[in-house]
Structure 1
Amino acid sequence: MNNLTSYQKAALDYKNHISLTANAGSGKTFVLSKRYVEIALAENIPLNKMVAITFTDKAGGELYRKIASEIEQRLITEEDNKKIEILHRIRRQLVSANISTIHSFCINLLKSFPVEAGVDAGFVSADTNLADEIIDKSIEKYINECVNNSEKFELLKKIIRFCGSKNNFIKQIKHLIGKRKKTESIIKIINDKTTEEITEKFNNDFEHYGSLLLKEKADKLIRLLETINGYVAEKNSENEIAAKVTNKVKEYDNSDTFPKKMIILSEIIKEAATQQNKIKKRGYFSKDYDNTPEIRQANEMMCDFEKILPKENSVEAVPILAEYNKVFAEIFTDILKIYEALKKHRCILDFEDILLYAENLLKNEEVKTALSERYNYIMIDEYQDTDEIQYNIFMPILDNLKRGNLFVVGDEKQSIYMFRDAEPEVFTKTREEITKWGKNNILNLPHTFRLYPGIAFFTNILFSELFKTENVLLNEVAYTELICARKTDEKGKVEILICDESNPEIDEAEVTSAKITEEIINNPDSKFSDFAVLCRKRNHFAELEDAFSKRKIPYQIVGGKGFYQRQTVYDILNMLEFLLDFENDTALAGILRSPFFLLSDKTLYNISQKRGNSLHEKLCSLSLDMPELKSVADKLAYFKSLVHQTEISRLVKIILNNTGYWSVIASSTEGEQEIANIKKLITLAGSFYNQGLKSLYDFTDFLKISVQKQEDEGQAVPIGNENTVKIMTIHQSKGLEFDTVFLYRTNDSPRSETTKAKSISASKTFGFMAKVPLGENYSDDYAAAPVVLLDDYIQWRKSKAEQQRLLYVAVTRAAKNLYICASIKKSGITGGSFFEQIAKGINLDTDKDEIVISGRMKFLNKESLPENIEREIEQKIKLVKTFNLTENSVFSDSAILKPEVILTNQIEDFIKGDIISATKVAVYSQCPLKYHLAYNLGLKKLENFYGKSESFNDLLDKENEEKLPADLKGRIIHSLLESETGDENLYETVKSKIIGETGSEEISGQFIDEIIQDLKLYFNSNVYKEIKEAENYKNEFEIYAAEDENYLFGIIDKLIIKDKQIVIADYKTDKIEAAEIKERALSYEKQLKFYAYLVSKKYPEAEDFVLKLIFIKHPENYWEQHLNKKEVKDFGREIEQIISKINSNVFPANITHCPKCYFAGKDKKCIYKAEI
């Protein structure tokens, strides 16, 4: 710990509750991981007594890796044997540690206390699509109920007229359900009040909060206007406007209520200012005084007050708003009841439910006590992004800090998730609670180890100005100065790239791509992955993609939308549509042309010329003469045979694994992104199945609708850090850092936050906010009550403060170089834009070619005390307005993107990026030619032609288990073993599983009895009892591992972790005699060794591997083999050799395997005689 700063060391004091504010690049995750390990080691407690909450799964993964790394580092340096023993124990327990998002943590709470929480123990967490579907059904059901209830029908008509349409009504209700916490708290208040009492509340709220937030500012504006009016009156005592303003100012000063003051201020502004809220020149103020400080300040303040000053009919709108609040509450409550009932019927909880139920669960004293005893240490990362519900979950667990230990870390300057109800005030509230236990418990990490001095100094100058005022009610936060931990001779660059918006030839996308090109060419050490382009909006991505493509700059969209519109999704949709209808010629044409089969246009034309009623018939006809087409037709027939007996996600996997799709996509320029998208689609298919929606037709229909309507669905985030420029939103960049950052389109206007007509918003302070029609006149403009104007003002100020924090996040992603891009119109800088904030913050004059900012900044002194030293610093900022966009700066495919390599060997064609399963390795080991026939040529088994009785079950992939209807029994047994179903109600459970798999209720009782008999044999065995006693295990464990440019994949029936020992158990349902077990087990040996190698890569600390092969019909005669670490590693080399041979197309025949091979004819010889 000698390398830690004094601030970091203080943060490791786990004896006290701590609130830690961490500046950008201060290493908070580093500190959090050290604190986690320090507690576990010093207190010698099991990891399940500790909780670490992160904002995202990705952040959780990073924290997990850093904790693992810290443990490894300490094992290297630690000399105390007792501590070494504890560290080994911590490392073993880490796989099951409570490191998760708040939602995962709450799901675990609800699963632990389902009765107390009032939820079904087997509830499923609904994704957005399913929740939307249920909300739609709830609203439709409510509308249908209203038709038969005249009183409700009148309310429904009123609200639909208010919204302007049924579709907008549905949209508003969905929005309120999404903000259910706020909505329900409003309803609790409204239900207890009459319309008159709600009206009074609105007026009182306007008086109270308006005075609190604006009276002082209004008084200041009045004094400014009084001063300006004095200039006018002094110059012309007869000026009528000046006389009116003088009288109104006196009236303002004599007024005793805030609402009256606002009305008078509005009248003064109407007299003295233009409609644009500028002091009048004609007939009032002389041009000679146009640019005085008073004028500039008054103009700016009047623009701000425009949002709050009462409009015509504002007062009249108050009782109407109160009446609509009662209507909104009643309708929402009725729809919510239906929504809750539908979810309960399907055992579903939505995103909001999970937090709300957990919050309510913590009101149970017994549960609270149990959890207080269970969890001693709670650590929460990114605390600035938390909300009130999360505060209400963790504080009771710690008995409001009277028990246990709380550590929260975050940076209020980086709170940018207001749309998720995250508000910095929760951080402030928690800090105040922790302060009660000691002022020394409020700490900070001021050093930035990321930013170069020039960037750090620019950040300090800019944001010390923007974060000048602090106001908790408006989410305005104070600035904490960055202390630079970089060397003083490392400079850092800030440059402003200004485009003329009137010149379409030179736009920001072209300038950005040209600048990246210039940097790469001029700096040989630069990589494309050093660069990131940060956008406020995703709709800017397309223009950047076009510009980068022109210059052949490799790029990656991070978190881009349009997931359902990707070609990969279209391809899979085409395949599923065709499998449902073999006469769908359009879908089949798309499949044949896609990476599934890659048929040429010429081949497609030849198919179309054959006779037949459909394209499929023509394909089958031509396939009789063309072997390559026969393989295609056979595969399609095989996929079709799986449709009604295979879970959707597995069907998609089988299709992808049995065609060339993975390889083709992996080799494309956007391969990583598309692979991630495909995996997301497979996950969606799995969720669809888990939610009880098992029909392929339903899923295909869902995909079609999503392709048409869901354009904003985010793409998956690819794994890997390939050499590409990253294009992302600022929100996506949170937590990341890059050498060079481009802030793109900084002069664009921000989104408006005012209440729009025909919309409803929920304010936890005021109630339902909406503009309302006067006198039931829905065609005229809607009026805004004063409380609505006040809420708009507060939301505008909060949004403005968040935009400043968003800019802070963007600027502090850059370590070395920061480019600020802006397109400026003739009218000047856009109000409210990032560029306006930057210009104000550093006093920028855009007419200059360079500005200089200077001052003093603190640096970390690593050599001696004092820890921080202050130095003078000067930063030059260039303003670039002319650009060289010549074509000769376009990259060639060879010069920049690929290093020059001289090849002396023969060039051979081989495939990379494939997924290698246990079965593929085992089949290749049996006979390389067999592998070629099965996986490359896609030939069917000969039993289809000759009636061969031997089952293909001996080497099926887990993901391909459904190849034959006869495998249904095996799937049912595997499913029951995975869910650890016991003897109770076994008959009904088996029957239900079969119906779920087949969709048919016509089930043979004998078939069910056979399954139950096999299961009971296993449940009564000693090996089952032994496995059942395992504490740390995983069922149906899917595991991937990278192996050079390929991926190894397997699904392990049961993985048991015992200290340094790993037990891999694999269940087999083969119908064999006990005497055949040993021979059959040998055919599975490679498969289990493959799993052992995969597991060794995930759990490198494991030293002993036990392989168990359990034949369900003969459980006591299980096969077992022990391997040590070296033997597993040796098998890894064997896998490496096999993959190399597969990639190099080396497929010799092993004729000794022919008698057992399903590609052997009746003469027991291989059908592929040409190769032998």
Structure 2
Amino acid sequence: MAHFIGSDPHTDNWGEDYVIEKCVEYLDDSCIIYRNREVFGTQFDVCILIPDQGIAVIEVKAWRPQTIQRVENGDRIVIRTSSGGEEGASPMKQARGYVFSLRNRIRQKTGKTPFVFPLVCFPQLTAAEYQNKHLASVCEPETTLLKEDFANKAALYRKINLAMRNGQRSLSYCNPLDKQLMLQVRQLFESELDLSSLDEDKKEEMVRAVPLQRDTIYSLFYFFQKGEHPSQEQIRQIVQYYLDGTKITAVVRDRALMEQLVQAIAGALTQQGLTAWGENLKLCLEEEKTEKISSQSEYRIFNCLIGLADDGLSGDIPSFCVADGKTEGEEENRRLHEIGQHSAFNWEQYQIEHAEASKNILIRAGAGTGKTYTMISRIGFLCRTQSCNVQEMANRIVMITFTNDAANQMKEKIKQYFNNFYLLTGDVNYLQFVGLIDNMRISTIHSYAKYLISLLGMELGYGAEVHVTSGEYIRKQIVEEKLDQYLEEKIRQHGDNYTAKLGQPVYAIQNNILEFINHLHNQSVDVQNVDASSFGELDGQPGLDGTKELHQLFASLVPDVEKAYSAQLLKENQIHLSTMMSVLKRCIQNPDNVERLRKMQTGTPQFMFVDEFQDTDDVQIETLKSIAQLLQYKLFVVGDIKQCIYRFRGAKEKAFDQLHIEETTDQWLTFSLTKNFRTDIGLLELFDKSFSQWGITEGEKDPLLVYDPQEDKLVGTRSFNEDCPGSKFYKAIHVSEERYLMGSLFEEVKRQIRRIECEEQNGRTLSRKEKEITILVRENWQADAIRQEAKRRKLPFEVITNTGGDLYRTEPALDMLTLANALLHYDEADYLYTLVASNFIGGGASKAYLYHLRQKQKGGWRQRNKVTDTDQAKALQRLIDGKWGDQELSWNKVVRSLRIQPVMQVMRTIYSSLKPWVSYGGENQWKQDYYRQNVDLLFEQLMTACNLDVLTINSLADILLSNIRSCKNVDSRNPTYNPEENPIVVRSITVHKAKGLEYGSVILPYCWNAINRPKNANLHISTSLEDGHYRIGYQIRTVEKQTYQNSFFDMVTEAEERQREEMRILYVAMTRAIRSFSWLIVDNKNTVSWQSMIWEGEV
């Protein structure tokens, strides 16, 4: 129970009495509650001090539903008074006012600023009444306590958690509410509290943060043989373990026992006010009927699996229990393995999750085998079994992902995971861990590299606040300058006809040099450390004029340009995004930095998770290995060589060999995941016929796909096509000629739509993903061609594409330019009116009103000058000031802050306060998420491309305008789903963009292109590192279509590598399918291609 500090918690104010009573009952005894205390002449209703978290200020309004009349102007609630009149109020504005007063008071008295956040409480309103009264525009649901939030402990904790997450933007600027600050804050309200007279033990007793639960078991596995049922007391004990946060896995032989366990778990959740939401938990205060499982063989909810073993399981296995994965010898391991083969229990995931923390772990995870779930479960195991507090545990985990989106998704999934624990147990430590996840080191390898360079780069001349740029303008200037100097010198030596010998115009050579450098950076080559010998000799090719001179030019200028460019960036304390791994490698190889990293060792186990390991290149792998060794990280590496499709970025299918596990087998544990949770069982069996054929080794050649049916075959766990002939869900579509392809493609799409509609009409419920029909292609232009052809034919469906480059054409980008222009022209009515009309304000000033102001001032509409314009501007500024969510803000204050604060910080403040995504999306959450995600992307792009130290509002406006006018090629972001709709969706995207995703139906239209020769490109690059020296092979095609190459480039090897890469891309494309796969075959194309590689037989 929480402690209430005051004379009497019961007064004549029912609302405040009720809130205090429930908070005292549900909150932990480390929390302190105050009521009606004066702060700078204002008096809050209720204030709660939560150790290590923050301070909640609650404005209580015990209004009944009939008292609330309406919401006015979106920011005021009009209520009926006891006298029958009306009055308006904005509870959230009141709460924020108390927050600012309290925060300032604490800062004034202690010199520190803790996290203080507002809450509004309507204890007599239900969630339905809150929605019906449209109160969300005045009081956001995340920061509003309603009647349901006081139903039980978990509900109250959940809402406080949401409110804290809603205000986490300010956490980076706040001091933690630690023991010392907690006592100082208490002293503000408890004048009799004398800290000087208390010893440390007494202080610790007065401010006690709840320790992590160490007395609970992390996981329990139960097996119950037929006829060996647990007693009612044992079932009650299992349920209690589950409610305490223990992971429960139970495999039974008897359906009646399965149903009994399911009813016990589901009933306990209902009593807690919880229900299953997919495999997560959510609050549900209305009793829900437990789903019938009479025809199911498993029941899954968060942290719990109850499975029914099939008849193939041996009857000799006795009932047994395993705690925390600690088995009793090989016999018990054998039993678990057999149970995993005959039930939903995943023995491989179980081993990985519970593996000893002192080992490095390598996981070969096939497509759809739940690698993300496995990684998160492993984090959960480590957090519960390592002896440290949540802050320390968060600091001991590093996770490297392949993309920013993957990093963000991983953070959200980890948050959801620990939020589920919080809902289940009510333990505030899980809530605290959720608050720390945003600060965990979960990022792309380049973001992690920047962090390390900021620590270690001083030895190379970089400052602590090193900036990353992705622009090419300076490099282009250096290329032009160096090329001019080179040509002048050569003309001086060899005469005016030298340039003619090169066989290419100067502009083409400039482009070749830039393309050369970009290719090398994609493979993490440290270009400034290569020399002319790295380019070898020109392959003897008589008849090609100027090839020797052009070869010498590349060998000389490519490293020379990069050295000059790097030196220029170093002066500005910048690093180009493409060179980060090379710079980091040099940092780590520096002897002083090696010593510095060794001193950073904590002496406690630390963990580095690396996702999509197959997509890392050799330099990245060596760098991560060195960091792990120097900082004593235990590696957790997850990947699948069969899905290595980024060869153009330096990824190789032998990535796992770079770990050299065979040399340190005592330090590694290796596992494989083959149980597939995505694709239909029958479809996987058909896929295996193709995969097995590709995996055959012919002579000394490597197989087209690294695939061993005994080890790599995906084992299906889901069935979507029962009693359905194979030709319905695995279909080859033949067309006689290429020109008929589009017609046949669209007929197949229509067939898939009819199938989905038919199944739904027959009562089958299909998920959003099952209703997605995706046309996978290799190139963006192919997706665009399909979309345009579908539009031209006026088909009854739209083909959605994501071919990229649309960010600076979206409304978030246009709004950001509007804001930048308004800040730049802060007192000009034209720009302010545009801002008011945008999503930031959402309108509110008519042109007629502004015309009225001008006419009133000067007596006539024809006369316009600065005076009248200023009056209009002031009127618009007053309108803007009425929209700030932060009472301390005003338009003039924001404009003045541009003189003393970084531009991007001011912009962030404006976005946080005005929330333009609310105006843009209205009640459509998907549209709000779309707007917010692309605002975040715009900030990321600008912070990467600009030097923030010298960025001004003028230059920001110029950059935005330039990017919008030039339609800079950056992909916008789309939320993963629209929760309000579940339509049939038809989309067309590239296989690379589809990686990691899944779709109900997959169609491959372009399958005849030859894959056994290099791609049709002007430049091919190959690199290798031998004895610390780069060997750079290249083949180049001139503007006259002449082709030549150097001695390090092997055309045969390149062709073989291309074919193997294409087979891996095809593997990825096929394994995206959930329930249906089809492909088009053009009969008059006889090339070695995808269509010749996919198995087509009787199904």
TM-score by length of 1: 0.51
Alignment of 1:126-141 (within 5 A): 126=469, 128=470, 131-141=471-481
Give the equivalent residue in structure 1 for 2:553: 327
- CA deviation map 1:155-179 (0-9, x unaligned): 9996897473343333333333334
Shift of 1:465: 1.4
- CA deviation map 1:608-645 (0-9, x unaligned): xx99xxxxx98979x999x9999779989999998897
Q: Residue 808 in 1 paired to residue 1052 in 2?
A: no
How far apart, CA to CA, are the structure 1 residues paired with 2:371 and 2:820? 47
Shift of 1:413: 0.7
Question: CA 1:314 to 1:537, structure 2 compared with 1: closer, same or farther past 3 Å?
Answer: same
Question: CA 1:180 to 1:411, structure 2 compared with 1: closer, same or farther past 3 Å?
Answer: same
Give the equivalent residue in structure 1 for 2:611: 381
SS at match of 2:717: coil
Which of 390, 396, 399 matches 1:49? 396
- CA deviation map 1:1119-1162 (0-9, x unaligned): xxxxxxxxxxxxxxxxxxxxxxxxxxxxxxxxxxxxxxxxxxxx
- CA deviation map 1:406-452 (0-9, x unaligned): 3311111111112221212222232x425641598332112112221
Give me the identity figure in percent.
Answer: 18
SS at match of 1:171: helix
Contact 1:509-1:544 at 8 Å conserved across structures: no
How far apart, CA to CA, are the structure 1 residues paired with 2:425 and 2:936? 41
Give the equivalent residue in structure 1 for 2:938: 681
User: Which letter maps to 2:731?
Assistant: E
SS at match of 1:495: strand
How far apart, CA to CA, are the structure 1 residues paired with 2:1022 and 2:817? 39
SS at match of 1:450: strand
User: Which letter maps to 2:717?
Assistant: R
User: Which letter maps to 1:718?
Assistant: P
Contact 2:468-2:945 at 8 Å conserved across structures: no
Question: CA 1:830 to 1:628, structure 2 compared with 1: closer, same or farther past 3 Å?
Answer: farther
Give the equivalent residue in structure 2 for 1:706: 963
Question: CA 1:763 to 1:393, structure 2 compared with 1: closer, same or farther past 3 Å?
Answer: closer
How far apart, CA to CA, are the structure 2 residues paired with 1:153 and 1:755? 36
User: Which letter maps to 1:411?
Assistant: D
Question: CA 1:185 to 1:691, structure 2 compared with 1: closer, same or farther past 3 Å?
Answer: closer
Which of 511, 514, 517 matches 1:174? 514
Give the equivalent residue in structure 1 for 2:351: 10
Contact 1:749-1:832 at 8 Å conserved across structures: yes
Q: Residue 730 in 1 paired to residue 991 in 2?
A: yes
How many residue pairs get aligned? The number is 705
Shift of 1:62: 3.9
How far apart, CA to CA, are the structure 2 residues paired with 1:603 and 1:728? 44
Shift of 1:761: 3.4
Contact 1:177-1:183 at 8 Å conserved across structures: no
Give the equivalent residue in structure 2 for 1:831: 1087
User: Which letter maps to 2:766?
Assistant: S
SS at match of 1:740: strand
SS at match of 1:441: strand
Contact 2:453-2:584 at 8 Å conserved across structures: yes
Give the equivalent residue in structure 1 for 2:717: 486
Shift of 1:390: 1.7
SS at match of 2:1042: coil
Question: CA 1:569 to 1:745, structure 2 compared with 1: closer, same or farther past 3 Å?
Answer: farther
User: Which letter maps to 2:574?
Assistant: I
Which of 638, 641, 650 matches 1:421? 650
Q: Residue 412 in 1 paired to residue 641 in 2?
A: yes
How far apart, CA to CA, are the structure 2 residues paired with 1:779 and 1:155? 23
How far apart, CA to CA, are the structure 1 residues paired with 2:422 and 2:880? 54
Contact 1:25-1:451 at 8 Å conserved across structures: yes
Question: CA 1:417 to 1:618, structure 2 compared with 1: closer, same or farther past 3 Å?
Answer: farther
Which of 539, 563, 580 matches 1:354? 580
Give the equivalent residue in structure 2 for 1:784: 1044
Contact 1:71-1:91 at 8 Å conserved across structures: yes
Give the equivalent residue in structure 1 for 2:673: 445
Unaligned runs of 5+ in 1: 204-312, 612-616, 845-850, 853-875, 877-1172
Give the equivalent residue in structure 1 for 2:450: 107
How far apart, CA to CA, are the structure 1 residues paired with 2:502 and 2:829? 47
How far apart, CA to CA, are the structure 2 residues paired with 1:356 and 1:505? 46
Contact 1:379-1:408 at 8 Å conserved across structures: yes
Shift of 1:121: 0.7
User: Which letter maps to 2:621?
Assistant: Y
Shift of 1:735: 1.7
SS at match of 1:314: coil
User: Which letter maps to 2:637?
Assistant: V
Question: CA 1:817 to 1:619, structure 2 compared with 1: closer, same or farther past 3 Å?
Answer: farther
Shift of 1:86: 9.0
User: Which letter maps to 1:60?
Assistant: A
Q: In terms of Rg, which structure is larger?
A: 1
Unaligned runs of 5+ in 2: 1-218, 222-248, 250-344, 856-860, 882-889
User: Which letter maps to 2:730?
Assistant: V
How far apart, CA to CA, are the structure 2 residues paired with 1:76 and 1:575? 40
Contact 2:608-2:636 at 8 Å conserved across structures: yes
Shift of 1:55: 1.8
Give the equivalent residue in structure 2 for 1:526: 766
Shift of 1:90: 6.2
How far apart, CA to CA, are the structure 2 residues paired with 1:718 and 1:736? 13
Contact 1:750-1:833 at 8 Å conserved across structures: yes
- CA deviation map 1:1090-1127 (0-9, x unaligned): xxxxxxxxxxxxxxxxxxxxxxxxxxxxxxxxxxxxxx
How far apart, CA to CA, are the structure 2 residues paired with 1:488 and 1:636? 57
SS at match of 1:460: helix
Question: CA 1:435 to 1:578, structure 2 compared with 1: closer, same or farther past 3 Å?
Answer: same
Contact 1:469-1:478 at 8 Å conserved across structures: no
Higher relative contact order (CA 8 A, sep 6+): 1
Give the equivalent residue in structure 2 for 1:227: none
User: Which letter maps to 1:348?
Assistant: Q
Contact 1:325-1:767 at 8 Å conserved across structures: no
How far apart, CA to CA, are the structure 2 residues paired with 1:379 and 1:502? 48
How far apart, CA to CA, are the structure 1 residues paired with 2:586 and 2:365? 31
Question: CA 1:168 to 1:460, structure 2 compared with 1: closer, same or farther past 3 Å?
Answer: same
Shift of 1:816: 2.0
Give the equivalent residue in structure 2 for 1:270: none
Which of 1054, 1070, 1091 matches 1:795? 1054
Question: CA 1:771 to 1:440, structure 2 compared with 1: closer, same or farther past 3 Å?
Answer: closer
Shift of 1:384: 0.7
Give the equivalent residue in structure 2 for 1:563: 807
SS at match of 2:554: helix
SS at match of 1:561: coil
Alignment of 1:160-559 (within 5 A): 162=502, 164-180=504-520, 190-191=531-532, 198-199=536-537, 314=541, 324-363=550-589, 364=591, 365-370=594-599, 376-399=606-629, 405-430=634-659, 432-434=660-662, 436-438=664-666, 441-469=669-697, 476-480=705-709, 481-486=712-717, 491=722, 493-498=729-734, 501-503=738-740, 506=743, 508-509=745-746, 511-512=748-749, 515-516=752-753, 519-520=756-757, 522-524=759-761, 525-526=765-766, 529-530=769-770, 531-533=772-774, 534-542=776-784, 545=787, 547=790, 553=797, 557-558=801-802
Contact 1:110-1:117 at 8 Å conserved across structures: no
Question: CA 1:785 to 1:98, structure 2 compared with 1: closer, same or farther past 3 Å?
Answer: closer
How far apart, CA to CA, are the structure 1 residues paired with 2:1033 and 2:650? 17
Question: CA 1:574 to 1:359, structure 2 compared with 1: closer, same or farther past 3 Å?
Answer: same
SS at match of 1:362: helix
Contact 1:755-1:792 at 8 Å conserved across structures: no
Shift of 1:358: 1.9
Alignment of 1:797-876 (within 5 A): 797-820=1056-1079, 822=1080, 825=1082, 828-829=1084-1085, 831-838=1087-1094, 842=1095, 844=1096, 851-852=1097-1098, 876=1099
